[in-house]
Structure 1
Amino acid sequence: MRKGESTRKHIIAKAAELFNQKGYSGSSLSDITELTDIKKGGIYRHFTSKDEIALEAYSYAGSVVGAKINDAVNQQETAIGKLLAYLQVYENVVEAPPFIGGCPLLNLATESDDAHPILRQRAQQGLEGTLDNMKAIISEGIRSGEFNAAIDIDALATFTLSVMEGSIMMSKLEGNNRHIRMNIESFSTYLKEVCLR
């Protein structure tokens, strides 16, 4: 890897941690220079703006979490197990989240709501991608006969992601993993009682 490419990746990785902990608005270019030990001129050799860094940083954080979720999902044999894997990746979100600062999608969506249209668009893309992956799992569960054919695929995917993100937010806010752990159990029961044939 060339030095310029290595430097760019270093900036993205460190900025991703910073933005995921302090948010876009709470992070300055000076914070990035301090964290990376690269002067502003060096940062601007690789990026034209803070927005560009933020977009790349979110993509990086999303890819790290996505890889962990994919690994967890691929270890499961059933559609129920695959959906629960999304929550289980965050089972210890307070002490050991899959990415420092928690869920990049949740953090970006919360902060970018109306204030930053470019970041909001990226969060929407992350939302759609996650829901599409969940819908594919549910569809496969219906095809295999695990789930009732009458299941509303879109509604179940939305419910799954809502339970996951709500649990992460509550656990992080309280500083206690009990919410995510309770909801893993409750959601497991729901899937078995409502969605199975």
Structure 2
Amino acid sequence: MYKSPIKKVQKTQTVQYMKDEAVSKSDLTRQMILEKSAVLFNLQGYSGTSMKDIMNATGLSKGGLYGNFKTKEDIALAAYDQAVDTVWEEVKKRTKVIDHSLDKLKAVVYFYKERILDPPVEGGCPIQNTAIDADDGNPILRDKVRNTVDNWRRNIVTNLERGMKSGEVRLDCNASDFAIKFIGILEGGIMLSRLYKELHYFDVIAKQLIDLIEELRA
């Protein structure tokens, strides 16, 4: 009995389409969970956020959540990545159009000045919030934040070393130490402004940081 190869191909394509559609829906559900959870964890912390909170925010049952993540900790870790990536993408939009090494750093300062009271992720800086929350709590989350800060420091060091090679940055610049100062001062300014809900506190810090950046100009 003759079987048309066309029908066989069509059937295969239909099955593949159904599989792709299922994967797409699963990806969308997972992304929705992360976006909702990122805000919850950023506002309430790990201990302060229950699975019930996540269920209410996402509209999913416990089975719906566990169908995408094994544990609450898995959700928290992935949600933290989601929150940090959201901030980094906003920062990169500012820095990628700038060539000068020091002006890139200044652009980061100006970004936070503009968004300090209207952050990309509700609740403020996810790095700072999670670092404080996990300090004496979840060691896996703490290591996650440390890895983020380590990468941030390396990026600053790479940027400054590139600037030294191109003649933009003074050769006596200690890139590693400056990266630590940059992050510490910036995060301190964020904390004070968020605490008092006033931009003035960050303005004071930002001016000092901009002055330090300018001192490195060759």
Structure 1 unmatched ranges of 5 or more: none
Aligned-residue sequence identity (percent) comes to 31
The counterpart of 1:129, out of the listed 141, 147, 151, is 151
Aligned residue in 1 for 2:120: 98
- The two structures, once aligned, show a CA RMSD in angstroms of 1.4
Aligned residue in 1 for 2:134: 112
The counterpart of 1:29, out of the listed 51, 60, 74, is 51
**Aligned positions, number:** 196
Higher alpha-carbon Rg? 2
Question: Match of 2:51, as an amino acid?
Answer: L
2:37 is aligned with 1:3: no
Offset of residue 95 of structure 1? 3.0
Instruction: With the length of structure 2 as denominator, give the TM-score of the two structures.
Output: 0.85
2:196 is aligned with 1:174: yes
Aligned residue in 1 for 2:17: none
What secondary structure, in the 3-state scheme, does the structure 2 residue paired with 1:5 have? helix
Offset of residue 94 of structure 1? 4.5
Cα deviations by residue, 1:95-129 (Å, 9 ceiling, x for unpaired): 31122111111111111113111101100111111
Instruction: With the length of structure 1 as denominator, give the TM-score of the two structures.
Output: 0.94
Confirm or deny: 8 A CA contact 1:163 1:183 kept in the other structure.
yes
Offset of residue 75 of structure 1? 2.6
Q: C-alpha separation between the residues in 2 aligned to 1:22 and 1:141? A: 40
Question: Match of 1:123, as an amino acid?
Answer: V
Confirm or deny: 8 A CA contact 1:93 1:172 kept in the other structure.
no
Q: Quick one: structure 1 residues 93 and 71, their matched pair in 2 at CA, closer, same or farther if it must change by over 3 Å?
A: closer
Confirm or deny: 8 A CA contact 2:102 2:217 kept in the other structure.
no
Q: C-alpha separation between the residues in 2 aligned to 1:79 and 1:23? A: 35
Offset of residue 21 of structure 1? 1.2
Confirm or deny: 8 A CA contact 1:93 1:177 kept in the other structure.
no
